[in-house]
Structure 1
Amino acid sequence: MNQFYDVTAISADEKELKRIATKYGVKNHHIEMTRTISPLDDLKAVWKLYRFLKKEKPELVHSHTPKAGIVGMMAAFLAGVPNRFHTVAGLPLLEATGTKRKVLNFVEKLTYSFATKVYPNSFGLNEIIIQEGFCQLEKLKVIGKGSSNGINTSYFDKTLFSESANQSLKEQLKIEADDFVFIFVGRLVGDKGINELIAAFKTLTSTALSDHLNLNLNLNRKLLLVGPYEQELDALKTDTLQEIEQNSNIISVGFQPDVRAYFAIANALVFPSYREGFPNVVLQAGAMGLPSIVSNINGCNEIIKDHQNGLIVPVKNTEALAEAMRDLVDDEILYQSLQHQSRKRIMENYEQEVVWQALLAEYKKVTDHV
């Protein structure tokens, strides 16, 4: 967008904001925001952003994430910004109940009321917004076939990583040449399905020896976890944490700025999330040639077609998850069939440049640029 517009990036994490702004050659402005329900802090953020927008007088403000959405859309509305776009990349409220759900519903409606356009990043999310009555229909639109940003398949490409580089990383992580490696990439929190994933993998490894003896099937299975814990926001169960620590077949490497090398040594993505918008990690895994096991939720079940480029399992179902993982390990014909379609489907439907052009067209409709 900075080829067509004077772009300013605004975010809460000042250090990361400056790094990204420098990388992409855009201006930046730091506004502190929390990720929790914090009305006083949120109003302070709205006030600070309002003052900045009144001074800068932008043609368009485009917000992402629920908290940046309410802060950004309210401040832009109050500052008289004519074009106020909000991308919905997931609804945390779907897992909330009681008073918290009512509060989050209200905030979501308020965000959309301040926006002039609302872009759910999947068709499933679009349907949920309509069903919940969050937004006027004329404001809603899904860009392209879904996704907030598409995927750069030239960047996420397994052929960029040599066999020697892959072997070196495997040795570092103590992964053997004949290990079947499941990978999860994302925050290690409850609503990403980590409790179910660890329980399913425990079942898989505990039955692996008997399977091997009786049926001569693959014994070596590893689970590679790439991502940070967020215990203060969505804590994992104690049993889950203990299993991650004690199971020698589970390898946790924490947050990694570049996940491609880890995809390159894996065989399949497992992503049993409870809720998503349009998960980038599933796009990334597919572009790297990996089939995916995903939960049957919006976004995931749009990228993955069951038994075409991956497997779809019910949400929060440990048994079904373990069975799907076992199928990929033990059924080589199934695995190769899914793998063959993985990168092809992403390239045909979610190439980044296509999404960018579609979004640029939305901007051009409402700005002075031709």
Structure 2
Amino acid sequence: MTPPHPSSNPRQSLEGKNLLFLISEDWYFCSHRLPIARAARDAGAKVAVACRVRDHGDTIRKEGFDLHPIGLDRSGRNPLADIGTILALRKLYQRVRPDIVHQVAVKPVLYGSIAAWLAGVPHVVNAMAGLGFVFISKGAFASLVRPVLISAFRVLLNRRQSRLILQNGDDSALFQTKIGVRPDRIAIIRGSGVDTISFSPAPEPDGPIIASCVSRMLWDKGIGELVEAARILRHKGSDIVIRLIGPTDDNPASIPTETLDAWRSEGIVEVTGPTADIADAYAASHIAVLPSYREGLPKSLLEAAACGLPMVATDVPGCREVCRDGETGLLVPVKQAKPLADALERLAGDAALRKKLGAAARNAAEQEFAEPVIIGQTLALYESMLGGEN
């Protein structure tokens, strides 16, 4: 299913409707779904947000959204607690009575879809920004859970008045062939949109070449391979600076703080931790790098593209949607440090190539990934469902 075309007047179908976002964390809602929620509010919808509330509750409330704190543990493995979460969500849905619930990421989609079915929610939008730890891990727990998860998704994602938003064609093909989701239940909307005003090109900084990886510090983001690539470059006498920018979290693939501290002490990479100003971090960089194992559509690369930075990324779903080999960046094989080091070295030594790739990246951000484009497609999907499309 291609993205719906935005209508000229979304207010016709969203006026007076209740829209509820279910998402694990308040920070993720603010960074990835806030512009869409604002647009829905401005189109006349009453917007509510259910998430774990930590540092961004006031931000959400100041937007005029009803905020419902929930304790949805992304890394939890306690079946009794999970059943309790589903029942709590059902109670919430029955109380809020949303016309549409928009659920984001694996656990909210799974538990929220069960709760929506039990509560009789008329329209369900499920957004999968990637396949998550359970789908890509080869560990015992993931291998045990994966068949159950696939069977549950096959039922839940094919329900009438349910739509699955995916961010790239690779994931669409996978959900159809491996999980059995019908093509007419899938909408491809490429990302959550990037603010091309706040994220804009800046002149290259003076000094050594800086390649910044803006990401959560997870093993499956390829951080280990990037550190090894930095060692290779240092051994060759390169003065390229590899900068790791981002937080740890409770994801099972999270890199231990002790490991990050050891890398920092080793001096091979800069470990800066999270920052509230990604645009400023990119303005201080020459290259953006993300050697992830798999993505939906990485926001960090979208923001890098909007900043006009050339990219180095792995040739995997999601990354190659933004980093197009020889056009906006250089693609390298997944889980291989030497090709990663070679690509970084190539870009570091060729200012003209960096300029060419960065200009093309900025153009792609403006034409394909900008917030107005993605917001229009999302509101049009809401409209089509409220208008009676099964």
The verdict on a shared fold, with TM-score over 0.5 as the criterion, is yes
For 1:135, the equivalent position in structure 2 comes to 181
Question: What whole-Å deviation, never above 9, does each CA across 1:170-220 have from its counterpart, x for those lacking one?
Answer: xxxxxxx32100001111111000110000011112212xxxxxxxxxx53
Matches within 5 A, 1:250-269: 250-269=269-288
Say which of 94, 109, 112 aligns to 2:135.
94
- Provide the rounded CA distance (Å) in 2 between the counterparts of 1:121 and 1:360: 16
Question: What whole-Å deviation, never above 9, does each CA across 1:132-164 have from its counterpart, x for those lacking one?
Answer: 134222211212xx11x11110121245xxx8x
Question: What whole-Å deviation, never above 9, does each CA across 1:238-276 have from its counterpart, x for those lacking one?
Answer: 996466223435222211222111111000111000111
For 1:183, the equivalent position in structure 2 comes to 212
> Counterpart amino acid of 2:227?
I
Q: Please say if 1:154 is aligned against 2:197.
A: yes
Question: What whole-Å deviation, never above 9, does each CA across 1:3-40 have from its counterpart, x for those lacking one?
Answer: 1211101112x133513413533111011011123322
Shift of 1:85: 1.1
For 2:375, the equivalent position in structure 1 comes to 356
> Counterpart amino acid of 2:129?
A
Which stretch shifts more, 334-343 or 280-289?
334-343
- Provide the rounded CA distance (Å) in 2 between the counterparts of 1:136 and 1:368: 20
For 1:339, the equivalent position in structure 2 comes to 358
For 1:123, the equivalent position in structure 2 comes to 169
> Counterpart amino acid of 1:107?
L
Retained in 1: the 8 A contact 2:212–2:243?
A: yes
For 1:22, the equivalent position in structure 2 comes to 61
What is the TM-score normalised by the length of structure 2?
A: 0.81
Cα separation, partners in 2 of 1:331 and 1:21, compared to 1, 3 Å: same
Question: What whole-Å deviation, never above 9, does each CA across 1:60-79 have from its counterpart, x for those lacking one?
Answer: 11100111111211111110
Which stretch shifts more, 238-247 or 43-52?
238-247
Q: Please say if 1:319 is aligned against 2:319.
A: no
Q: Secondary structure at 1:253's aligned position in 2?
A: strand
For 2:108, the equivalent position in structure 1 comes to 68
> Counterpart amino acid of 2:182?
Q
- Provide the rounded CA distance (Å) in 2 between the counterparts of 1:336 and 1:140: 37
Retained in 1: the 8 A contact 2:164–2:187?
A: yes
Shift of 1:95: 2.0
Cα separation, partners in 2 of 1:238 and 1:56, compared to 1, 3 Å: closer
Q: Secondary structure at 1:9's aligned position in 2?
A: strand
Q: Give the number of equivalent residue pairs.
A: 341
Q: Secondary structure at 1:234's aligned position in 2?
A: coil
In proportion to residue count, which structure has more helix?
Answer: 1
- Provide the rounded CA distance (Å) in 2 between the counterparts of 1:156 and 1:327: 25
Cα separation, partners in 2 of 1:188 and 1:53, compared to 1, 3 Å: same
For 1:196, the equivalent position in structure 2 comes to 225
Which stretch shifts more, 341-350 or 82-91?
341-350
Q: Please say if 1:44 is aligned against 2:84.
A: yes
Cα separation, partners in 2 of 1:104 and 1:251, compared to 1, 3 Å: same
Retained in 1: the 8 A contact 2:288–2:309?
A: yes
Say which of 301, 304, 323 aligns to 1:285.
304
Unaligned runs of 5+ in 2: 1-39
For 1:113, the equivalent position in structure 2 comes to 155
Cα separation, partners in 2 of 1:332 and 1:150, compared to 1, 3 Å: same
Q: Secondary structure at 1:358's aligned position in 2?
A: helix
Cα separation, partners in 2 of 1:108 and 1:155, compared to 1, 3 Å: farther
Question: What whole-Å deviation, never above 9, does each CA across 1:265-317 have from its counterpart, x for those lacking one?
Answer: 00011100011111111100010111110111111111121011100001101
Unaligned runs of 5+ in 1: 168-176, 209-218
Q: Secondary structure at 1:252's aligned position in 2?
A: strand
Which is bigger in relative contact order (C-alpha 8 A, separation at least 6)?
2
Q: Secondary structure at 2:248's aligned position in 1?
A: coil
- Percent of aligned pairs with the same amino acid: 25
- Provide the rounded CA distance (Å) in 2 between the counterparts of 1:276 and 1:323: 22
> Counterpart amino acid of 1:338?
L
Question: What whole-Å deviation, never above 9, does each CA across 1:298-337 have from its counterpart, x for those lacking one?
Answer: 1111112101110000110111101101101122332222
Moved over 3 A (4+): 235-243
Q: Secondary structure at 2:252's aligned position in 1?
A: helix
For 2:3, the equivalent position in structure 1 comes to none
CA RMSD of aligned residues (A): 2.3
Retained in 1: the 8 A contact 2:295–2:317?
A: yes
Shift of 1:113: 2.6
Q: Please say if 1:299 is aligned against 2:318.
A: yes
- Provide the rounded CA distance (Å) in 2 between the counterparts of 1:52 and 1:256: 34
Retained in 2: the 8 A contact 1:301–1:312?
A: yes
Retained in 2: the 8 A contact 1:290–1:342?
A: yes
For 1:31, the equivalent position in structure 2 comes to 70
